[in-house]
């Protein structure tokens, strides 16, 4: 079992979703079983109400 992690900074819209989907598609063409999981670090917290220095 192998894992590929795609991470990014605080800026959204960097294309992380597009990049992970493209990598997954390429791996599936080579007969790899692929599952994409999104992890949200803000569990039970609204980051919109946080100070920029907190996140």
Every domain of the chain and the residues it spans: 1-55
The pLDDT-based confidence of 11 (bands split at 50, 70, 90) is low
What is the tens place of the pLDDT at every residue in 17-52?
A: 888 899 999 999 999 999 998 877 767 777 777 777
* CA 55 remoteness from chain centre: 17
CA distances from 48 to 38, 42, 45 (A): 19, 10, 9
> How many C-alpha atoms does 33 have within 13 Å on its Cβ side?
2
* C-alpha 54: how far from chain center: 20
Instruction: Map residue 2 onto helix, strand or coil.
Output: coil
């Amino acid at each position: 079992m192998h894992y590929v992690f795609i991470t990014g900074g605080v800026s959204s819209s960097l294309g992380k979703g597009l990049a992970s989907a493209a990598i997954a598609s390429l791996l599936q063409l080579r007969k790899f079983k692929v599952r994409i999981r999104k992890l949200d670090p803000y569990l039970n917290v609204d980051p919109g109400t946080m100070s920029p220095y907190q996140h």
